[in-house]
A = this chain, B = another copy of it.
Amino acid sequence: MADLVVVGSVALDSVKTPFGKVAEALGGSATYFSYAASFFAPVRVVGAVGGDFPREHLELLRKRGVDVSALEVLPDEKTFRWTGEYGFDLNEAKTLDVQLNAFATFKPKLGPVHRKAPFLFLANIDPVLQLDVLSQMDEPAMVALDTMNFWIEGKREDLLKVLARVDVLLINDAEARMLAREPNLIKAARAIATMGPKTVVIKRGEYGALLVSNGQFFFAPAYPLDSVFDPTGAGDTFAGGFMGYLAQQNATDAAALRRAMVRGAAMASFTVEDFSLERLKRLEPREIDERLRIFADMVRLEG
């Protein structure tokens, strides 16, 4: 069991899907990540919220054993807010509004416990912030990074700087193509490996996730859900299950990466079943085990 640190957003999300809507619900990449990872390993969140951040959300993370000592509360700021909408094609969110608020001026300061963590996840935020956090670390065994079209287009140079120093990139397929400037996904994954990350995890929503690592491929199917309610946070939850498992095993070898992929896919399959962290909040470890059995069965060739 090894320590895991995440830097990313802790947010209030307003989301509309064809099945309902929710206003100012708990969200943010570091939130989904840390809550999911907490089922596997101890997690420490680096980030910032405003004075308006509901105290019960902090309590929720604390109750899962998440260390929020480096989640700064800036009393004069407001919390990061995201407003988005999904159509019947739940694969793509339409962002209606983003307010950086507390994140606009946030300067992460890592303490000695955080710096020594062997596992670091740089969730989807400004690559300048990601690089700042990475530079403060002692010598992590594994650094993983997520990003999005906004940074790939708007801060490509900064993103390439931090990418050169990470081991794993977790990214969706459209973003992988955009980053590599290559329409073929397999060629794109190979091109990304030359930018730094030797392992690329391509998240494809309802189509599963593909791991490309040192020329080897591994495919984790998506769990066959008969209702997807809200895909918000699925990617961050996937990353939480993935990195949480690696930290729990304190391993970064090829076999561990494969098993981590399936944990990521299992955790993501719960998040999308309800708004915000509602499904994760009622999640029992035995339910994770049950989905892992179904995942193994879905690719079993023996019959």
Binding site for B on A (CB under 8 A): 88, 183-187, 190, 204, 206-208, 210, 212, 216-219, 221, 224-228, 253-259, 262, 294, 296-303
21 contacts between A and B (CB under 8 A): A184-B226, A184-B227, A186-B224, A186-B226, A187-B226, A204-B207, A207-B207, A207-B208, A210-B224, A217-B294, A217-B298, A218-B299, A219-B298, A219-B299, A254-B303, A255-B303, A256-B303, A258-B301, A259-B301, A262-B301, A299-B299
Nearest CB in chain B: distance from A3 CB, A: 24
Give this chain's copy count: 2
CA distance A299 to B95 in the complex (A): 34
Contact: A297 with B216, CB < 8 Å? Answer: yes
Contact: A184 with B228, CB < 8 Å? Answer: yes
CA distance A296 to B246 in the complex (A): 23
Contact: A219 with B221, CB < 8 Å? Answer: yes
Residue among A219, A259, A297 with max Cβ neighbours from chain B (10 Å): A219
Contact: B258 with A217, CB < 8 Å? Answer: no
A258: chain B residues within 8 A (beta carbon): 300-303
CA distance A15 to B206 in the complex (A): 30
Nearest CB in chain B: distance from A186 CB, A: 4
CA distance A42 to B91 in the complex (A): 42
Residue among A217, A255, A257, A259 with max Cβ neighbours from chain B (10 Å): A217
A-B complex: 4 closest residue pairs judged by Cβ atoms: A255-B303, A299-B299, A219-B221, A207-B207
| A296 in contact with B301 given A183-B88, A226-B186 (CB within 8 Å) | yes
Who on chain B is nearest to A219 by CB? B221
Who on chain B is nearest to A88 by CB? B183
A300: chain B residues within 8 A (beta carbon): 218, 258
Nearest CB in chain B: distance from A114 CB, A: 30
Who on chain B is nearest to A220 by CB? B299
A227: chain B residues within 8 A (beta carbon): 184, 187
Contact: A208 with B219, CB < 8 Å? Answer: yes
Nearest CB in chain B: distance from A103 CB, A: 34
Nearest CB in chain B: distance from A213 CB, A: 11
A253: chain B residues within 8 A (beta carbon): 303
CA distance A296 to B219 in the complex (A): 10
A226: chain B residues within 8 A (beta carbon): 184, 186-187, 190
Who on chain B is nearest to A188 by CB? B226
CA distance A297 to B254 in the complex (A): 12
CA distance A296 to B212 in the complex (A): 15
Nearest CB in chain B: distance from A70 CB, A: 33
CA distance A206 to B183 in the complex (A): 13
Who on chain B is nearest to A187 by CB? B226
Nearest CB in chain B: distance from A16 CB, A: 17
Who on chain B is nearest to A301 by CB? B258
Who on chain B is nearest to A254 by CB? B303
A224: chain B residues within 8 A (beta carbon): 185-186, 210, 212, 217
